[in-house]
């Protein structure tokens, strides 16, 4: 027993050896929460307070569950395989398999993952002859899952208008389809388990008696239904704030300062509710950090103290202050990326492992500039928890359209986008086209004219779209061509109606930036007018550049590589050196935070998570100007930088605090507008464009080669036009 408890500090020891009671353990970043959880289980079993079958341990990832099982196997001389340790979904699946009859399921029920669920919803809409543009499948999936995670069935869902009423009906039809087919989605696993325990008293009493201790990891990430499920097993009644003696004891470990998944339904309020509803006598705080040096922790503490309503803790370490936090202010996002990669090269020369260097960013689209610099200098890298920029679905779709402009005979590109976004060209039509192409020995594009019937008409419409784009974009600069492709192909509209489409839209905008940067760096193809689709022209060169970057420097399995990831993906990880990039208003904190309740506080928690990933060295970087939608925007430094004590920081460049970029007032979202273009045109003036017709200038920004105006063309919509190429004339 002394060996089991020997390596615990006093608060950890107090948590591990608590008597059988409900408890909330506030475990700060790097404070040894996994050690506390596993040692608590081992201590309960070793002291004879409970057998292995009386433990229910809940984690949020399968990786965490396997790690817990491995640690317990090392601590206990017993077989831990039969213990109930797993994720909420895994444990509920196990429960429903054992009680499928009571749950109204077949013994062989199948689980739909997210892709399967989306396919099932698409099939439902098709069978019901529902317009999937009015009721987008992915949006309907989120509607259904959000209700399930709140414990709301279709029969209880409220409809405030005719549109919502129709979605509720579709939710009901989806429930019937799943029941008929014997399948359950992820949200259904938990909801059906909860409902079964709620209505079946003998079964509920059985599990309340069986599980004497429930241990929950990452409690701050639980949603409302998960918390309700835990309360049922703990014997908590809904009519009074007392706990039945028959229920299990909840040992919840979490950190309210690291609650960053509100967009997934996580309820930070569950921690306070647990404290109140279970009348917890005290909260144990694990504040000693075993990961980071003191300056990093002091910065994290100062930052998170700005949030209101925290349960409160203060991280500290015995490791010493360590190095100051380095702050770098670049003039452009490209200069920022170059600084980061140069610093990485220096760290590697000093002997640091590539595996121990992480580049963090708020938005996926930011990786593109960093990837380009790593590629340019030949530094192997890996995008953790995601795809490299040019491998992302939306980028490959846009590039496929561009490839068709350059070479209509590209069958791979044709097949990828002929029905994306969906335009009524089904699999049978594509198969018929392939058979025709094979018979006449031509490309799919050329074979389209030989295809008859409805299939031929649908494909012909797609061909006309490509031909129109080829004709109308021939003399446009490459960035404007890509912008037109994204708009006219329907890609932008497709992702606009997708609840999770914002990242993809940001990536598509970043593709425009990539083209602009490519032309600026490539002396053979200056940003000028000319035949865009000519052999050896700027389009062909850019497509070759994209292919080369996609094929190089993504490290192979087992190879050491610099780690790139979003801050969300970095949670739970740690590195010797961390670069937090893009610290600008509107980017981090994200501009959407201002529109959401407590949005800024969640962004601050996200920044806190980013800071506490670093062990030894932390870099904070930002740029005065950043490319956005192919145009230069002026930025303000992130407000989070002002919340850090200056004595902890070291500026590694002189900065340009007195430049126009730093003093110019901010526009909405934190982006700063450049001065109005000095071009003889004025806001409110009527102008004529060769293709869009007559419109009125409503806004302007930039100067010189970067000057552009926003024009309202009435029925033609609002357009941003680069003055260098738009050839606007007074009307």
3-state secondary structure 625-657: EEEECCEEEEECECHHHHCCCHHHEEECCCCCC
Which one of 39, 220, 226, 258 is the catalytic residue? 258
CB 444 within 8 A of CB 437: yes
Phi and psi at 434, nearest 5°, equal: -65, -40
Integer Cα distance of 229 and 207 in angstroms: 12
Integer Cα distance of 4 and 11 in angstroms: 15
**What confidence score (pLDDT) does residue 531 get?**
55
Which one of 149, 185, 188, 218 is the catalytic residue? 218
CB 619 within 8 A of CB 323: no
Q: Is 218 part of the annotated catalytic residue set?
A: yes
110-181 — its CATH code? 1.10.10.160
Q: How far is CA 663 from CA 634, 650, 658, in A?
A: 10, 22, 7
Q: Is 131 part of the annotated catalytic residue set?
A: no
The CATH class that applies to domain 2-99+190-286 reads alpha beta
Nearest to 394 by CA among 274, 283, 326, 485: 485
Q: Is 33 part of the annotated catalytic residue set?
A: yes
Integer Cα distance of 609 and 722 in angstroms: 40
Least confident among 151-165, 178-192, 454-468: 454-468
Fold entry, domain 325-388+554-668: Rossmann fold (3.40.50)
Q: Which two tokens stand for residue 23?
A: 């408890």
Nearest to 301 by CA among 607, 637, 36: 607
Instruction: Locate the domains of the chain by residue range.
Output: 2-99+190-286, 110-181, 325-388+554-668, 391-539, 686-730
**Choice between 596 and 728, residue whose per-residue pLDDT is larger:** 728
The CATH label, of 3.40.50.300, 2.130.10.30, 1.10.486.10, 3.10.150.10, for the domain at 391-539 is: 1.10.486.10
Q: Is 554 part of the annotated catalytic residue set?
A: no
Mean pLDDT score, 647-652: 93
Q: How far is CA 203 from the centre of its chain?
A: 39
Which one of 34, 177, 179, 673 is the catalytic residue? 34
Mean pLDDT score, 400-404: 92
Largest CA distance in the chain: 89
Q: Is 436 part of the annotated catalytic residue set?
A: no
Phi and psi at 178, nearest 5°, equal: -65, -40
DSSP conformation class of 155: T
The proportion of the chain whose per-residue pLDDT surpasses 90, expressed as a percent, equals: 50
Integer Cα distance of 724 and 528 in angstroms: 9
**Choice between 363 and 611, residue whose per-residue pLDDT is larger:** 611
End-to-end Cα distance, the chain: 88
In the predicted structure, residue 259 carries a pLDDT above the cut 80: yes
Is this model's pTM higher than 0.85 or not? no
Which one of 149, 185, 188, 217 is the catalytic residue? 217
Which one of 613, 617, 633, 719 is the catalytic residue? 613
How would you classify residue 564: left for phi > 0, otherwise alpha for psi between -120 and 50, otherwise beta? beta
Q: How far is CA 423 from CA 52, 136, 405, 437, in A?
A: 56, 14, 19, 21
Q: Given this chain, do its domains 2-99+190-286 and 325-388+554-668 carry the same CATH topology?
A: yes
60-90 as b/e, with b when 16 or more CB fall inside 10 Å? beeebbeebbebbeebbeeebeebbbbbbbb
Instruction: Write the pLDDT tens digit of every residue in 211-249.
Output: 999 999 999 999 999 999 999 999 876 544 444 556 789
CB 560 within 8 A of CB 354: yes
Residues 6+ apart with CB under 8 A from 278: 22, 234, 236, 243, 250
Which one of 12, 33, 371, 621 is the catalytic residue? 33
């Amino acid at each position: 027993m002394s060996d089991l408890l020997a390596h615990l500090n006093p608060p950890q020891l107090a948590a591990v050896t608590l008597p059988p009671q409900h408890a909330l353990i506030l475990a700060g970043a790097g404070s040894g929460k996994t050690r506390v959880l596993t040692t608590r289980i081992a201590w309960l079993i070793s002291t004879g307070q409970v057998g292995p079958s009386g433990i229910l341990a809940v984690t949020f990832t399968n990786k965490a569950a396997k790690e817990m099982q491995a640690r317990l196997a090392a601590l206990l001389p017993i077989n831990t395989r039969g213990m109930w340790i797993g994720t909420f979904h895994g444990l509920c699946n196990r429960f429903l398999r054992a009680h499928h009859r009571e749950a109204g399921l077949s013994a062989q029920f199948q689980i739909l993952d997210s892709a399967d669920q989306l396919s099932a919803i698409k099939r439902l809409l098709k069978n019901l002859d529902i317009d999937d543009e009015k009721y987008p499948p992915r949006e309907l999936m989120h509607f259904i899952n959000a209700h399930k995670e709140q414990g709301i069935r279709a029969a209880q869902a409220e409809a405030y208008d005719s549109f919502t009423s129709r979605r509720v009906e579709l939710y009901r039809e989806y429930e019937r389809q799943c029941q008929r087919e014997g399948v359950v989605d992820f949200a259904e696993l938990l909801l059906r388990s909860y409902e079964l325990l709620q209505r079946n008293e003998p079964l509920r009493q059985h599990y309340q008696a069986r599980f004497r201790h429930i241990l929950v990891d990452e409690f701050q990430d639980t949603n409302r239904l998960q918390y309700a499920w835990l309360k049922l097993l703990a014997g908590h009644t809904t009519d009074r704030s007392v706990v039945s003696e028959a229920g299990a004891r909840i040992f919840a470990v979490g950190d309210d300062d690291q609650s960053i998944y509100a967009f997934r339904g996580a309820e930070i309020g569950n921690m306070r509710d647990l404290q109140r509803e279970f009348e917890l006598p005290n909260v144990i705080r694990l504040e000693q950090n075993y990961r980071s040096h003191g300056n990093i922790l002091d910065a994290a503490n100062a930052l998170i103290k700005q949030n209101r309503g925290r349960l409160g803790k203060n991280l500290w370490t015995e490791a010493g202050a360590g190095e100051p936090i380095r702050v770098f202010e670049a003039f452009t996002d490209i200069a920022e990326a170059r600084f980061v990669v140069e610093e990485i090269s220096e760290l590697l020369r000093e002997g640091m492992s590539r595996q121990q260097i992480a580049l963090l960013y708020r938005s996926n689209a930011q990786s593109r500039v960093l990837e380009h610099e790593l590629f340019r200098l030949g530094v192997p890298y890996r995008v953790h928890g995601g795809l490299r920029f040019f491998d992302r679905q939306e980028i490959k779709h846009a590039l496929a359209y561009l490839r068709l402009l350059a070479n209509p005979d590209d069958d791979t590109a044709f097949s990828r986008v002929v029905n994306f976004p969906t335009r009524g060209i089904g699999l049978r039509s594509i198969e018929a086209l392939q058979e025709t192409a094979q018979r006449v020995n031509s490309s799919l594009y050329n074979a389209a004219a030989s295809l008859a019937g409805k299939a031929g008409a649908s494909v012909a419409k797609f061909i006309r779209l490509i031909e129109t784009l080829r004709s109308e974009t021939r003399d446009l600069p490459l960035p404007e061509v890509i912008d037109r492709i994204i708009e006219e192909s329907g890609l932008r509209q497709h992702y606009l109606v997708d609840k999770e489409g914002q990242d993809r839209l940001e990536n598509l905008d970043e593709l425009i930036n990539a083209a602009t940067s490519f032309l600026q760096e490539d002396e053979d193809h200056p940003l000028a007018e000319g035949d865009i689709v000519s052999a050896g022209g700027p389009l062909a060169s850019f497509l070759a550049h994209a292919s080369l970057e996609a094929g190089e420097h993504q490290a192979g399995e087992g190879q050491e590589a610099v780690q790139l990831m979003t801050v969300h993906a970095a949670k739970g990880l740690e590195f010797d050196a961390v670069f937090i990039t893009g610290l600008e208003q509107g980017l981090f904190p994200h501009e959407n935070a201002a529109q959401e309740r407590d949005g800024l506080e969640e962004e601050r928690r996200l920044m806190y998570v980013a800071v506490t990933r670093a062990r030894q060295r932390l870099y904070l970087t930002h740029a005065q100007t950043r490319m956005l939608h192919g145009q230069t925007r002026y930025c303000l430094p992130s407000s989070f930088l002002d919340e850090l004590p200056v004595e902890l920081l070291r500026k590694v460049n002189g900065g340009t605090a007195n430049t126009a970029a730093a003093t110019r007032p901010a526009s909405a979202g934190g982006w700063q507008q450049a001065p109005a273009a000095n071009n003889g045109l004025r806001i409110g003036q009527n102008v004529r464009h060769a293709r869009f017709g007559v419109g009125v200038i409503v806004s302007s920004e930039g100067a010189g080669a970067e000057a552009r105006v926003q024009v309202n063309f009435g029925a033609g919509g609002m357009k941003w036009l680069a003055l260098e190429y738009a050839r606007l004339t007074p009307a």
